Structure 1
Amino acid sequence: DESVLDNIETRLLKWKKFFVSNDDNFGTERQMGLFGELSFLNNIAAKQVGFEEALSSWVGADFDKQDFLFNDCAVEIKTYKASKSPHVTISSAYQLYTSKEKLYLAVYSLSINFQGLSVEDIIKSIEVKIADVESFYKKLFSYGYKANFQVELLKFKIDKILFFNVDNKFPKITPIDIDSRIHNVKYTVDLLKCNEFLLERIKL
């Protein structure tokens, strides 16, 4: 039946992404991405909903539409280098589209700093605070992290965190905006022009 075939195809694509990402290609961009998601989990989500719920809500490693899915809202995490203009790349028409009541964009401005933290530092900090360590590491491995990396793990300093309310007026491309024959959409948002959507904080 068609639904079974769809489920099989989705599972195969997830495994494909798992194996493709499970190599030693864990460069600056991927480290920044994981750093942003782990920082949000550790410092924002866990403080509001607890570590166990924050961990279960983290679906970015499962290649879902957004990085975090909570009961009433979804959160997409983005990072950019502090030395560059605050532009973020949206890699699909679904990243800023959700059926949840609210969708937030959390953006981390990062700089490489030897006095900062690496993804491994944050992982160790989270590991001692959760019960289901195995589930946590499964998500890390799916993201492309390895405990025995042969690559240098950079240390980052968070210079700024910006929160945006992604409502109907926020500049975005969603599945309902494009022809169904278009399968891949990737675009860049200039955050300097999105001040009207800025929030001081978000409630999960």
Structure 2
Amino acid sequence: MRYNDTIKRLAALIGGLGDDAREAHFHVNGLYNGILNQWFPTVAGYVIEPQVQEDGVFMIVRHLDASRRMNSVLVVELKGPTKYNATGKRDIQTALTARMEKQFQFGHTTYGKIYGLGGIGAHWIWMACVKDITGRPTVIQMKDWTDDITSDTSAELFHQFALRVATIEECMMACIPAEKPLKDAFIGQFLDVTISRMESIDATCQ
């Protein structure tokens, strides 16, 4: 799966804007909106909703099922390319964590899992938030920061990401043990499998 020329040209435009963060930020929103629409089309029941709140603008991808239930499946937090530094990356991950947890807190999803996508310019990160059997959320970093979301390698990675989002309904029941030793072991095993899978995809696409 490769992205079309418009998406690739937009990424190149953003990369060439330098310190013009204001203009770049608007284009970053357009870039990710185009990518999200490719993977999460309305024909498959997805709705991409920009959200405006006091603490910033972000996007939520929701899924409308046959019973007319609307569930949040993906939270997207974006910043302009000049924010790609240690502070900017930390801010994105902190904001994503809070927004994913709020989807559970305010009942915006009946599922036991929700995903997070962070973007700073064309750099992106993939996270997940899963409830344990007591209902407490646990955030897992699925894939560390990756360069150029429009590259063929990133497109293959995003394909795996989109497949996980598409099968999120299968994870409606919380599956992480509540006890800390068991929880840590579960998350460690979960990440080992995920990282191994992602690394094999990376190697294939290089």
TM-score, structure 1 normalization: 0.37
Higher relative contact order (CA 8 A, sep 6+): 1
- Comparing both structures, which one devotes a greater share of its residues to helix? 2
TM-score, structure 2 normalization: 0.37
